[in-house]
């Protein structure tokens, strides 16, 4: 047994001074010949930690700095005996408010406050929004930031992940990744990289890109509309609230292109909750036709030759049938000069008919010439038959035809005319006999009889 | 280079109380199967006409709509007009 441990029998070993009350029954503090102090053991640290050692490798231990509740106490690192050199670095705990502070170059750099919020270059981290104040960087003046320093080799990336668990996809539920090997920025949602910005700045979205309520400005800052504003330059103009979700603006020629397959359709649809194509504008690249639809049906088309097709007519000066032009057609027909019993001459030398139909009005031009009359005609009245359309009207209404030329028609120099009755696709031929009209009969026809007439009648 | 000419029935319409059958026929000219010309010719058929030389479809429609009642009405109409 050494003297140091035999204080009971060696009273001189029980050292007492006014400032120290030594009640140890074993060596508690050792000061070696170099002045290094060891408490709780005789082991010393190395290098910069050699001057004071506390505790041992065989049991837990530590240092406690006591202070009143309103005070602050510190552990300082000084390199001079005056001014700030006395505390070039320090670790400080302020009981008033309960914060731990870390300093370098005599200046506080990091603080952990009572609620656990950490401030780097910030002394008030707990004053920020509670959803994002676990770590606050910056003092609120000048630049502030954080750098993730990664490699640039294959697969190397810098990451910020948003986790809601520790297994499966939970640790990477959301995230922001910068891939240094391909120079791509990736934004991760629900464990999938949804948005990628490539090295050229192109933005690629896995599931489409939704426009935020503030809208998106392209090429320049958005200042028109509520959606996307593509602005090459500012015209100073405004947009109507009826059509301000997409605005394309520029002081030169501006436009929009829809690129489709060479045999496919390109369309703009107008939809509502019950109809996804209530209105539609479609360009058919297969036939090079531009089509306009409403109510699910094509209404207007412009074909590859530039012809405009209007399927239901054009309303002029009103919307009723009386104001609607809904048909146009031109063509030929083969008139016949026959009698009311459908008997024709033996042969015709000429039988020409032309028509133009505009709406319901049919304008015709007719020329007939008998070659050989023959003997088969016996009806009461001669007709120009085989008109192109059926006339309409009440039973007794008729449409007048003007005869412009006759030859070899035996009417004793009387004026000649024609009338089209409703439902008859033929013209009854008459001559003016005094105050009345009389029917032209087969007996007035001969070989070489020629009649030219024209006029307009109403069709159905 | 092949020039072809075809005749197509473009429209068959039944019109009016007396069921007149309006027939539109298109003559189509094509060069190497590309249409270069189309012209229209028309005629109207009434219930008292001989339709034996008409297109089969025209005959079929006419025979359906030209009932005896229609034929009689048409005959009576013509008679009243030519007295």
Residue with tokens 């000419």: B5
Residue with tokens 């800052």: A221
Task: Measure B72 CA to nearest chain A CA, in Å.
Answer: 15
Give the mean pLDDT of A112-117.
96
Give the mean pLDDT of A430-436.
91
Residue A30 has pLDDT above 50, yes or no: yes
Which range, of A6-15, A187-196, A217-226, averages the lowest pLDDT? A6-15
Give the mean pLDDT of A15-21.
76
> SS3 for B81?
helix
Task: Tell me the whole-structure pTM to 2 decimals.
Answer: 0.60
Residue A457 has pLDDT above 80, yes or no: yes
Burial A125-145, CB ≥16 within 10 A → b, else e: bbeeeeeebeebeeeeeeeee
Residue A195 has pLDDT above 60, yes or no: yes
Of the candidates A336, A338, A334, the one whose C-alpha atom is nearest the C-alpha of residue A442 is A338
The model's pLDDT over A334-386, given as tens digits with 9 standing for 90+, comes to 999 999 888 999 999 999 999 999 999 999 999 999 999 999 998 889 999 99
pLDDT band at A266 (very low <50, low <70, confident <90, very high): very high
Looking at per-residue pLDDT, the higher value among A112 and A9 belongs to A112
Q: Is A293 on the interface with B (CB under 8 A)?
A: no
Mean pLDDT value across chain A: 90
CA separation for the pair A32, A17 (Å, rounded) = 20
**Tokens in use for A422?**
């409703």
Answer whether A390 sits within 8 Å of B24, measured CB to CB. Answer: no
Task: Measure B22 CA to nearest chain A CA, in Å.
Answer: 7
Residue A50: what pLDDT? 83
Backbone angles phi, psi at B44, to 5 degrees: -125, 140
Residue A49 has pLDDT above 90, yes or no: no
Report the chain B residue with the minimal C-alpha distance to residue A392: B16
Of the candidates B31, B30, B11, the one whose C-alpha atom is nearest the C-alpha of residue B22 is B11
The model's pLDDT over A65-105, given as tens digits with 9 standing for 90+, comes to 999 999 998 999 999 999 999 999 999 999 999 999 999 99
Helix, strand, coil percentages in chain B from 3-state DSSP, rounded to 5: 30, 45, 25
Element (H, E) at B69: helix B68-81
Report the chain A residue with the minimal C-alpha distance to residue B36: A305
Residue A1 has pLDDT above 50, yes or no: no
Residue A93: what pLDDT? 96
Residue A33: what pLDDT? 87
**Partners of A278 in beta bridges:** none
pLDDT band at A279 (very low <50, low <70, confident <90, very high): very high
Residue A171 has pLDDT above 70, yes or no: yes
Answer whether B40 sits within 8 Å of A342, measured CB to CB. Answer: no
pLDDT band at A212 (very low <50, low <70, confident <90, very high): low
CA separation for the pair A124, A133 (Å, rounded) = 10
Give the rounded percent of residues in chain A with a pLDDT score beyond 70: 93
Of the candidates A102, A90, A97, A89, the one whose C-alpha atom is nearest the C-alpha of residue A115 is A97
**Partners of A119 in beta bridges:** A111, A136
How many CB atoms neighbour CB A306 within 10 A?
6
Residue B19: what pLDDT? 95
Residue A216 has pLDDT above 80, yes or no: no
Give the mean pLDDT of A141-155.
95
The model's pLDDT over A243-263, given as tens digits with 9 standing for 90+, comes to 999 999 999 999 999 999 999
Q: Which residues have CB under 8 Å from B35's CB, separation 6+?
A: B28, B29
Residue B33 has pLDDT above 70, yes or no: yes
CA separation for the pair A61, A43 (Å, rounded) = 14
pLDDT band at A34 (very low <50, low <70, confident <90, very high): confident
Report the chain B residue with the minimal C-alpha distance to residue A438: B82
> SS3 for B56?
helix
pLDDT band at A12 (very low <50, low <70, confident <90, very high): low
CA separation for the pair A42, A49 (Å, rounded) = 14
Element (H, E) at B77: helix B68-81
Q: Which of B16, B41, B49 is facing A423, going by the closest CB pair?
A: B16
pLDDT band at A215 (very low <50, low <70, confident <90, very high): low
Report the chain B residue with the minimal C-alpha distance to residue A335: B43
Q: Label the pairing between strands A135-137 and A118-120.
A: parallel
Of the candidates A23, A57, A25, A22, the one whose C-alpha atom is nearest the C-alpha of residue A41 is A57
Answer whether A334 sits within 8 Å of B48, measured CB to CB. Answer: no
Size of interface A-B (CB pairs under 8 A): 62
Residue A318: what pLDDT? 87
DSSP labels, A234-278: -------GGG-SEEEE-SS---------TTSEEEEEEEETTEEEE
Write the ipTM: 0.89
How many CB atoms neighbour CB B68 within 10 A?
8
The model's pLDDT over A390-421, given as tens digits with 9 standing for 90+, comes to 998 765 567 889 999 999 999 988 999 999 98
How many CB atoms neighbour CB B77 within 10 A?
18
Distances (CA, A) of A205 to A12, A158, B56: 85, 20, 61
Residue A269 has pLDDT above 50, yes or no: yes
The CA-based dihedral angle spanning residues A299, A304, A305, A311, taken in that order and rounded to the nearest 10 degrees: -10
How many residues appear in chain A? 460
Residue A6: what pLDDT? 62
| A443-446: long-range pairs with CB below 8 Å, 24+ | A443/A410, A444/A382, A444/A409, A444/A410, A444/A411, A445/A337, A445/A345, A445/A370, A445/A373, A445/A377, A445/A382, A445/A409, A445/A410, A446/A370, A446/A373, A446/A408, A446/A410
């Amino acid at each position: 047994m050494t003297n140091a441990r035999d204080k009971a029998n060696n009273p001189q070993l029980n050292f007492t001074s006014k400032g120290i009350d030594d009640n140890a029954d074993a060596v508690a503090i050792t000061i070696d010949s170099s002045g290094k102090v060891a408490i709780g053991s005789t082991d010393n640290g190395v290098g910069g930690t050699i001057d004071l050692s506390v505790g041992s490798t065989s049991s837990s231990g530590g240092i406690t700095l006591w202070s009143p509740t309103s005070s602050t106490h510190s552990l300082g690192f000084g390199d001079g005996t005056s001014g700030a050199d006395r505390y070039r670095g320090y670790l400080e705990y302020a009981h008033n408010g309960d914060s731990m502070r870390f300093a370098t170059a005599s200046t506080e750099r990091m603080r952990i406050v009572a609620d656990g919020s950490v401030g780097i270059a910030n002394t008030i981290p707990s004053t920020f929004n509670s959803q994002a104040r676990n770590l606050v960087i910056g003092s609120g003046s000048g630049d502030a930031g954080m750098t993730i320093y990664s490699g640039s080799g294959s697969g190397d990336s810098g990451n910020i992940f948003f986790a809601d668990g520790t297994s499966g996809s939970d640790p990477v539920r959301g995230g922001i990744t910068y891939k240094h090997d391909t120079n791509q920025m990736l934004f991760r949602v629900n464990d999938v990289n949804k948005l990628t910005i490539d090295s050229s700045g192109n933005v690629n979205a896995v599931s489409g890109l939704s426009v935020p309520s503030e809208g998106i400005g392209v090429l320049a800052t958005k200042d028109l509309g509520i959606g996307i504003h593509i602005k090459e330059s500012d015209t100073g103009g405004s947009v109507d609230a009826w059509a301000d979700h997409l605005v394309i603006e520029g002081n030169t020629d501006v436009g929009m292109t829809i690129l489709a397959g060479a045999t496919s359709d390109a369309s703009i649809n107008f939809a509502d909750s019950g109809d996804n194509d209530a209105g539609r504008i479609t360009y058919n690249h297969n036939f090079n036709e531009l089509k306009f639809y409403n109510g699910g049906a094509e209404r207007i088309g412009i074909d590859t030759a530039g012809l405009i097709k209007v399927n239901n007519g054009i309303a002029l000066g009103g919307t009723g049938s009386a104001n609607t032009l809904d048909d146009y057609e031109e063509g030929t027909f083969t008139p016949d000069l026959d009698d009311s019993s459908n008997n024709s001459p033996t042969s015709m030398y000429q039988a020409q008919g032309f028509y133009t139909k505009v709406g319901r009005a049919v304008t015709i031009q007719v020329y007939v010439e008998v070659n050989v009359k023959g003997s088969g005609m016996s009806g009461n009245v001669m007709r120009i038959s085989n008109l192109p359309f059926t006339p309409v009207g009440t039973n007794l209404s008729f449409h007048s035809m003007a005869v412009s030329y006759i030859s070899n028609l035996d009417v004793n120099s009387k004026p000649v005319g024609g009338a089209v009755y409703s439902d008859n696709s033929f013209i009854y031929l008459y001559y003016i006999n005094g105050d009345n009209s009389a029917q032209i009969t087969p007996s007035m026809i001969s070989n070489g009889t020629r009649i030219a007439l024209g006029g307009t009648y109403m069709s159905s | 280079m092949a020039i072809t000419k075809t005749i197509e029935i473009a429209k068959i319409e039944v019109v009016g109380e007396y069921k007149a059958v309006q027939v539109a026929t298109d003559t189509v000219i094509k060069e190497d199967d590309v249409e270069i010309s189309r012209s229209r010719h028309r005629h109207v058929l009434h219930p008292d006409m001989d339709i034996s030389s008409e297109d089969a479809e025209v005959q079929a429609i006419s025979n359906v709509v030209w009932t005896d009642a229609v034929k009689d009405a048409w005959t009576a109409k013509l008679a009243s007009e030519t007295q």
